[in-house]
Each structure stands twice: as structure tokens, then as C-alpha cells.
Structure 1
Amino acid sequence: MPLTINLELSDQDLQHFAGVVESAKQASAGLSDTQVIDAATELVTKAQQSNPPQFVKERLELVGTLVAMARDEGWSLPAEDCANVRAALSYFAHGADVIPDNVPVLGFIDDAIMIELCAREMQHEIEAYNDFIEYRQREAERRKLDPATVGRADWLEGRREELQDRMHRRRNRDFRGGFGSGFGMGFGGSSGYGPVRRYSDSGWRPGPPRFSVGR
């Protein structure tokens, strides 16, 4: 019989997690982008092997989306946006869990909470990238191409610029409204962010394999 548990984080709790992320960013400052991305990929792989609870699987999918976003040649994020993705992934390269990941059932809860906060902070980036994945998949199939091989194709340029421009406008709008800016740790229960679609299931992406989240 399923059990529903709701967690409410206070402002003090959110400040704690913001401090954890800042510490992780400082601790991973000496790592290359590749090392940070590889560490996040390793977390997803380890989680897959441990078969965590469903709610953890659903949130760990976001790590795969962020990894794909950073690796995707076709998406080609500007430097500032790449830095935001790296900042979001740095927590998973730090390895200082509140709850050790090898604790059954509970081991990835702190990771899941942090991912949820990252999802709210980077909602517009995630939505834009998901839309890009789906567009590339449709167009590649129409052109009888493998989406994994198209790279920075000319026919992707216009759609990529349109989606990244939308992403920046929405992020700037939220910043003016006091909701945070990029991965500036402006998350909170009153941020106004809605549910985040964590991954696109209708297109190829260069990230770690997806969980079977429906099990």
C-alpha cells in the first residue's frame, strides 16, 4: 500500500541547503567541467544499481538532464549558462552527503531534495532543453537522420537561438520579480515556480541512461 509523505522546508532549511551548495561549489572549484559532469553521472549510475524509491528515481532523472545539457554539442550553451549547469552539478561532485547513499531507502533522500531545489531554480533551462530535444528528434526523423549524429546542424540553429532567448527572458523576468537568477540559490517555497518536467522522453540526449521510472 503506497504511503504519501509531504516535506515542508522552512526558510532556515533552505538557507542550510544553499550553504551546502555554496560549500560544494568551493570544494569542486579545482575540478574540471568534465570531472564535475563525470561525478554527477557516477551518482546516477550508483543510484540505478541500488534501486532507490520511486520518488528518488524521478528526481535523479534531472541529474541526467543537466548532464545531457552540458554535453550536448547541438544545444551549445553560452559560457554563463554552462557555469549555471556546473554550479547545479557541483553538489554531486562534492560527495558530502547528509545521509550516506548506501543507507537503504533513505540514502538518496538528501540528493533528491537538492535536485528538487535545483529543478525549481533551473526550471526555464530544463524546459527549453526538453523542447530542443523534442524538436531535434522530430526534425531528424523527418530528414531520416540519427539525432545522435547531427551535432550543430544549420537547421537547428534558429530553433536553438529561439529557445535559449526564451530561457533568458523568462529567467530575467523571474529575477526582476525577486525569484532568483540562474543558479543563484534563490529557491524557496514562495518562488512561484510550478512543477518541472524533468526530462524529455521523446528524443535522444547525450546523458546517462534513463531510469525505468514507471516501475
Structure 2
Amino acid sequence: MSLSITIELSDSDLDHFRDAMKTASENASKLSDQEILAKAEQAIAEMEQAKLPEFVAERVDSLEALMAAVKDEEWQMPEEEKRDILTSLAYFTEPEDMVPDHIPGLGYLDDAIMIELVIQDMSLDLSAYQEFCSFRSTEENRRGAEAKVDRESWLAGTRSQIRSNLRKKRSSGVRRRVFGRIM
């Protein structure tokens, strides 16, 4: 038997998570990009080794995709976007979070909420990166052995178009980002 629970976070609840993210970001500002990524990877590895509740496990893949976007040299992520993602990953570098992870069933609740907030906050960035990866994979399959020939040229045009679309979506102001940045 499973139990479905819906959680609604008020603005003051979200403020609590924003404060936790701000503290984590301040602590992570003392770390290099590589250290933030390594600590976030370690946290994800620990989550994956634990018997995660499904509501956490299904969110971890998106967090890994954001990390992949930062590390993907062909994506050539602009420094501001990279900084936003690394700041969002900062919470996962903290050894102590709001709910201790060892508590069965609930220990990863705060992590799941924070992952969900990060994914909502970075959804346009994640979608743009996934679009780029899809294009790259399709072109590699289509071009076969020729995919390596003039690779940067055929990636550059699509990368530029995807980034242009991302900027347009952000500037439209359609969606408020969870951690206070406007898209």
C-alpha cells in the first residue's frame, strides 16, 4: 500500500528554503567550481546508494543533468548560467541539511523539496541543454564517422539558436524563478 501526500509550501515556507540556499551559497562561495561539483556528485552518489523514496529518486536525474550541462565543454555554457547552476547545487554540498538523511522515509524530504525548487528555477536552462544534447546525438547518428569533421561548426549554429531562444524566454518575464531571479 502506498500513500500519496501533497505538500503546499507557502511564501514563508519558501523563504525558509531560500534562506537555506543562501547560507549554502555563501558557504560554497569559498569553494572552486570543481569542489562544488565534486561535493554535489558525492551527495548524489550517497543518495543513490541509500534506499531513496521514489519522490527523491525521480528528481535526482534532473540534478545530474544540470551537473552534466556545467561539465559539457561542447555546450560552452556562459559563465553567468554556470554560476547560477553551481549556486543552485550549493545546498547539496552541505554536510548537514534541514532533515538528517538517516531518518527513514523522511530524511531526504528536504533534499527532494530543494531539488524540485532548483529544477523549477533552472527549468529553462535544463530544457535548453536537453535540446542541445538531442540535436548533438541526432547529428552524430546522422553523420556517422563524419560527425567529427567540422564538429564545432555544426554545433555552433544550433547552440547559438538554442541560447537565443533561452534569452527570449527569460526576457519575456513569463515565469518567476523560485530563488528570486526573474526569467
Same fold (TM > 0.5): yes
| C-alpha separation in 2, matches of 1:146 and 1:26 | 46
For residue 106 of structure 1, report the CA deviation from its aligned partner: 1.6
TM (normalized to structure 2)?
A: 0.91
Partner Cα distance (1:178, 1:62) in 2? 19
Report what 2:58 is aligned to. Answer: 58
Q: 1:36, 1:89 within 8 Å by CA — same for their partners in 2?
A: yes
Q: CA deviation at 1:95?
A: 2.4
Amino acid at match of 1:179: R
Report the secondary structure of 2:4's partner residue: coil
Task: Assess if the C-alpha contact under 8 Å between 1:98 and 1:110 holds in 2.
Answer: yes
Pairing 1:133-144 to 2, within 5 Å after superposition: 133-144=133-144
Equivalent positions of 1:173-188 (< 5 A) are 173-174=172-173, 177=174, 179-180=176-177, 185-186=179-180
Q: Distance in 2 between matches of 1:103 and 1:168?
A: 41
Kindly provide the amino acid, as one letter, of the partner of residue 65 in structure 2.
T
Contact persistence 2:36–2:89 (CA under 8 A):
yes
State whether residues 40 and 63 of structure 1, in contact with CA within 8 Å, keep that contact through their aligned partners in structure 2. Answer: no
- Offset of residue 179 of structure 1: 1.5
User: Aligned letter for 1:172?
Assistant: S
- Compare CA radii of gyration and give the structure with the larger one: 2
- Deviation per CA, 1:6-47, whole angstroms, max 9, x where unpaired? 001011000111111111111111100000011111111111
Q: RMSD between aligned alpha carbons?
A: 2.3
What SS does structure 1 have at the residue aligned with 2:43?
A: helix
> Contact between 2:98 and 2:110, CA under 8 Å: does it hold in 1?
yes
Deviation for aligned residue 1:3? 1.6
Unmatched runs of 5 consecutive residues or more in structure 2 = none
User: What CA deviation, in whole Å up to 9, does each residue of 1:142-171 have, x standing for no partner?
Assistant: 122599x89x72211111111111112111
Secondary structure of the 2:172 match is helix
- Residue 96 of structure 1 aligns to a residue in which SS? coil
Equivalent position of 2:118 in the other structure: 118
* Contact kept in structure 1, 2:28 and 2:90, CA below 8 Å: yes
Cα deviation digits, residues 102-125 of structure 1 (max 9, x gap) = 222222110110011111111110
Asked if structure 2 preserves the Cα contact closer than 8 Å seen for 1:40 and 1:89, the reply is: yes
Which residue does 1:199 correspond to in 2?
A: none
Alignment CA distance shift 1:160-1:117 (3 Å): same
How far apart in 1 are the matches of 2:167 and 2:84? Answer: 12
- Percent identical pairs in the alignment equals 34
Q: What is the TM-score with the length of structure 1 in the denominator?
A: 0.78
Stretches of 4+ moved more than 6 A in 1? Answer: none
- Where does residue 160 of structure 1 map in the other structure? 159
